[in-house]
């Protein structure tokens, strides 16, 4: 019996991210070691200490929403986070062979990992500047400035709900909906929690995963002040180098990914192609610091062990670790320790890789992009490389699949997502085997 109450399977996937606007393009670029990191396009970063990011090079994201699906209502908040999610979820629905016009909307749910939205920074800054009089901020003048700009939804620009609302309205979903806000672990946690919904019989289908786009002055400034970002502005493609001795921080990115989850019974009854099984889900919290992982690595190791325990599997059955691998000094060192704690001596023989070396770090959406890569590894028999691994670090001494993809016959992948604040999630993703 599955730890979720039922065997939970994946029947469809979709993604839009810096190296792919479809599953096929994403996978091709992953295994070929193509980086999506470049100088920032969303705004002029001149003068910023950090001037690079992973962006989806598409100005009008609405054109990526599959046209063969019923038309989506226009969102009053055309944030990139919202549009990225609509595009990825539309792809996943089509891939699963589903049609929102024909399903029972009350038996379909949405569980997403989403971060804060993107504010119209120039417009906001203009309104603030024009609100001062002899050094004093006049709030009524600020309010009038916002009204003059025609921004009636200002109060929700940084909210997370518009993404859920757009998915539910766009795809005819009336079942439960929820959001995970656990930073970099958000979409991985959403996937795990969505499995319980199906296991408990609350729904038949869940659209899960995540979306996030904060490549803006606030996002760059905020993470930059934490000294968490790489400052290799002169060499963007080589900036993100997980587990390398000379790593100097992660690269902020945007992206979205969606999985369609169903019970095995429901999927087989409708004749769906089953891509993989979400077999286990582990959670833990460091309770240490907001920005630094617990240096003992006990908590992330516990999340990994809990995922294996739920899956009914031992550490000997782990074939690949899809690492959180951010390219920060602390994360990569601690994650390496955690893997050793869980796998023991086998840790040195199990491939460990980080896709962030190519995609950058899309924060709330990172976990689902990694889950998709894990599922592709199971089906295609290839582990993507960790790009830019050049100088070994004595504290990071595992097999990180440096710079070139590798063929492997994998049956199970552990996919890790560790968030700011110490939230740790690990997913045990298995090759699907019929009962």
Would you state the structure tokens that stand for residue 184, as one six-digit string?
């970099």
| Domain annotation covers residue 173 | yes
Q: Pairing between strand 352-353 and 382-383?
A: unpaired
- Single out the residue of 37, 88, 12 nearest to residue 238, CA to CA: 37
Contacts (Cβ under 8 Å, ≥6 apart) of 327: 230, 240, 241, 242, 243, 244, 247, 248, 249, 250, 251, 354, 356, 357
Determine the pLDDT at residue 67. 82
> Are both 125 and 18 inside the same structural domain?
no
Contact between 250 and 328 under an 8 Å Cβ cutoff? The reply is yes
Model pLDDT for residues 7-64, shown as the tens digit of each residue: 999 999 999 999 999 999 999 999 999 999 999 999 999 999 999 999 999 988 989 9
> Are both 191 and 48 inside the same structural domain?
yes
| 3-class SS of residue 188 | helix
Provide the domain count of the chain.
2
> Residue 236 gets which letter from DSSP?
G
- Single out the residue of 120, 57, 111 nearest to residue 84, CA to CA: 57
Would you state the structure tokens that stand for residue 2, as one six-digit string?
């599955």
CA distance 64 to 222: 29
- Concatenated DSSP letters for 288-346? S-SSS--TT-HHHHHHHHHHHHHHT--GGG--EEE----S-HHHHHHHHHHHHHHHGGG
Residue 284's Cβ-side half-sphere holds a number of Cα atoms within 13 Å equal to 21
CA distance 53 to 182: 22
Determine the pLDDT at residue 75. 53
Average pLDDT, the chain: 93
CA distance 206 to 200: 13
Contact between 116 and 218 under an 8 Å Cβ cutoff? The reply is no
> Are both 200 and 130 inside the same structural domain?
no
Contacts (Cβ under 8 Å, ≥6 apart) of 331: 293, 324, 325, 418
Q: Pairing between strand 412-419 and 320-322?
A: parallel
Residue 177's Cβ-side half-sphere holds a number of Cα atoms within 13 Å equal to 19
Model pLDDT for residues 320-374, shown as the tens digit of each residue: 999 999 999 999 999 999 999 999 999 999 999 999 999 999 999 999 999 999 9
> Are both 167 and 188 inside the same structural domain?
yes
Determine the pLDDT at residue 142. 78
- Single out the residue of 419, 300, 400, 420 nearest to residue 355, CA to CA: 400
Mean pLDDT, residues 301-305 taken together:
99
Q: How confident is the model at residue 420 (pLDDT cuts 50, 70, 90)?
A: confident
Determine the pLDDT at residue 287. 92
Out of 105, 131, 154, a domain closes at 154
> Are both 201 and 125 inside the same structural domain?
no
| Domain annotation covers residue 2 | no
CA distance 275 to 269: 15
Has 353 been annotated as catalytic? no
| Domain annotation covers residue 64 | yes
Determine the pLDDT at residue 125. 77
Domain containing residue 392: CATH number? 3.40.47.10
Residue 202 has pLDDT above 90, yes or no: yes
| Domain annotation covers residue 244 | yes
- Single out the residue of 54, 416, 424, 402 nearest to residue 212, CA to CA: 54
> Are both 360 and 328 inside the same structural domain?
yes
Out of 132, 154, 176, a domain closes at 154
> Are both 171 and 128 inside the same structural domain?
no
Percent of the chain clearing pLDDT 70 (strictly above): 94
| Domain annotation covers residue 1 | no
Q: Which of 79, 324, 353, 396 is catalytic?
A: 324
> Are both 114 and 185 inside the same structural domain?
yes
- Concatenated DSSP letters for 7-40? -EEEEEEEEEBTTBSSHHHHHHHHHTT---EEE-
Q: Which residues on adjacent β-strands are paired with residue 353?
A: 322
Domain carrying residue 148 = 121-154
Would you state the structure tokens that stand for residue 220, as one six-digit string?
């760059």
Contact between 187 and 180 under an 8 Å Cβ cutoff? The reply is yes
Q: Which helix (H) or strand (E) holds 137?
A: strand 136-137
Would you state the structure tokens that stand for residue 21, as one six-digit string?
């606007």
| Domain annotation covers residue 369 | yes
Distance of CA 239 to the CA centre of its chain: 20
> Are both 264 and 126 inside the same structural domain?
no
Has 225 been annotated as catalytic? no
Contacts (Cβ under 8 Å, ≥6 apart) of 21: 56, 58, 64, 87
Model pLDDT for residues 126-145, shown as the tens digit of each residue: 778 888 888 888 788 877 77
| Domain annotation covers residue 435 | no
Would you state the structure tokens that stand for residue 83, as one six-digit string?
């549009």
> Are both 74 and 145 inside the same structural domain?
no
Model pLDDT for residues 146-171, shown as the tens digit of each residue: 777 666 555 566 677 789 988 999 99
> Are both 78 and 130 inside the same structural domain?
no
Top-confidence residue, 135 or 314: 314
Model pLDDT for residues 263-280, shown as the tens digit of each residue: 999 999 999 999 999 999
| Domain annotation covers residue 221 | yes
CA distance 56 to 68: 22
Q: Which of 72, 79, 124, 184 is catalytic?
A: 184
Contact between 405 and 358 under an 8 Å Cβ cutoff? The reply is no
Percent of the chain clearing pLDDT 90 (strictly above): 80
Mean pLDDT, residues 189-195 taken together:
99
> Are both 230 and 86 inside the same structural domain?
yes
Q: Torsions phi, psi of 305, nearest 5?
A: -65, -40
């Amino acid at each position: 019996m599955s730890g979720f109450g039922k065997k939970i399977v994946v029947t469809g996937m979709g993604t839009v991210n810096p190296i792919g606007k479809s599953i096929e393009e994403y996978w091709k670029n992953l295994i070929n070691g193509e980086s999506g990191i470049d100088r920032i396009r969303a705004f002029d970063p001149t003068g910023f200490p950090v001037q690079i990011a992973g962006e989806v090079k598409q100005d009008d994201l609405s054109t990526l929403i599959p046209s063969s699906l019923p038309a989506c209502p226009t969102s009053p908040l055309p944030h990139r986070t919202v549009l990225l999610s609509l595009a990825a979820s539309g792809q996943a629905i089509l891939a699963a062979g589903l049609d929102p016009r024909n399903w029972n909307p009350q038996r379909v749910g949405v569980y997403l990992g989403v971060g804060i939205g993107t504010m119209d920074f120039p417009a906001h800054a203009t309104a603030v500047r024009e609100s001062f009089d002899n050094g004093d901020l006049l709030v009524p003048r600020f309010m009038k400035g916002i009204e003059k700009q025609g921004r009636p939804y200002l109060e929700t620009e940084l909210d997370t709900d518009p993404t859920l609302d757009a998915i539910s309205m766009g795809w005819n979903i009336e079942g439960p909906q929820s959001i995970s806000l656990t930073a970099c672990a958000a979409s991985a946690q959403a996937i795990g929690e969505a499995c319980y919904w199906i296991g408990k019989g609350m729904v038949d289908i869940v659209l899960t995963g995540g979306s996030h786009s904060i490549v803006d002055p606030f996002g760059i400034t905020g993470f930059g002040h934490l000294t968490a970002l790489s400052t290799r502005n002169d060499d963007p493609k080589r900036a993100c180098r997980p587990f390398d001795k000379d790593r100097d921080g992660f690269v902020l990115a945007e992206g979205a990914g969606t999985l369609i989850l169903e019970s095995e019974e429901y999927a087989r009854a409708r004749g769906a192609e089953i891509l993989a099984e979400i077999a286990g889900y582990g959670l833990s919290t460091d309770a240490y610091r907001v920005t630094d992982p617990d240096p003992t690595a006990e908590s992330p190791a516990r999340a990994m062990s809990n995922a294996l325990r739920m899956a009914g599997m031992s550490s000997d059955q782990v074939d690949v670790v899809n690492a959180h691998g951010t390219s920060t000094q602390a994360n990569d060192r601690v994650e390496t320790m955690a893997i050793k704690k869980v796998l023991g001596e086998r840790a040195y023989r199990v491939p460990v890789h980080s896709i962030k070396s190519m995609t950058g770090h899309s924060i709330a959406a990172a976990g689902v992009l990694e889950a998709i890569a894990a599922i592709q590894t199971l089906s295609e028999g290839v582990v993507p490389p960790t790009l830019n691994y050049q100088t070994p670090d004595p504290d990071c001494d595992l097999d990180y699949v440096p710079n070139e993809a590798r063929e492997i016959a994998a049956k199970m992948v552990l996919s890790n997502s560790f968030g700011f604040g110490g939230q740790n999630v690990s997913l045990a993703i298995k090759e699907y085997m019929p009962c």
